[in-house]
Amino acid sequence: MKCTFTCKKVTLNDAIKNYAEEKISRLDRYFREEPAASVTFSVEKTHLCSVEIMIRGGGTLLRAQTEAPDGDMRGAVDEACGYIERQILKNKTRLSKRLRAEAFPAPDPSDDFEVTEEKEFNIVRTKRFSVKPMSPEEAILQMNLLDHTFFVFRNEDDGDLSIVYRRKKGGYGLIETGEND
Domain chopping of the chain, boundaries = 2-103, 133-176
Q: What is the mean pLDDT of the chain?
A: 82
Residue 137's pLDDT is 92
Outline where the chain has alpha helix (H): 14-25, 73-90, 92-95, 136-146
- As a whole number, mean pLDDT of residues 120-140 equals 85
pLDDT above 70 for 28: yes
Superfamily of domain covering 2-103: Ribosome hibernation promotion factor-like (3.30.160.100)
pLDDT value at residue 171 = 92
Distance CA 23, CA 20 (A): 5
> Is the whole model's pTM more than 0.85, yes or no?
no
Among the listed residues 75, 70, 69, 62, the one whose alpha carbon sits nearest the alpha carbon of residue 23: 75
SS3 label, residue 168 = coil
Secondary structure of residue 74 in the 3-state scheme: helix
Compute the distance between CA of residue 86 and CA of residue 112 in angstroms, rounded to an integer: 12
pLDDT in tens, 65-105: 998 887 788 889 999 999 988 888 887 777 766 666 655 55
CB atoms within 10 A of CB 147: 6
| Contact (Cβ atoms closer than 8 angstroms) between residue 27 and residue 36 | no
Domain 133-176 is found in CATH 3.30.505.50: yes
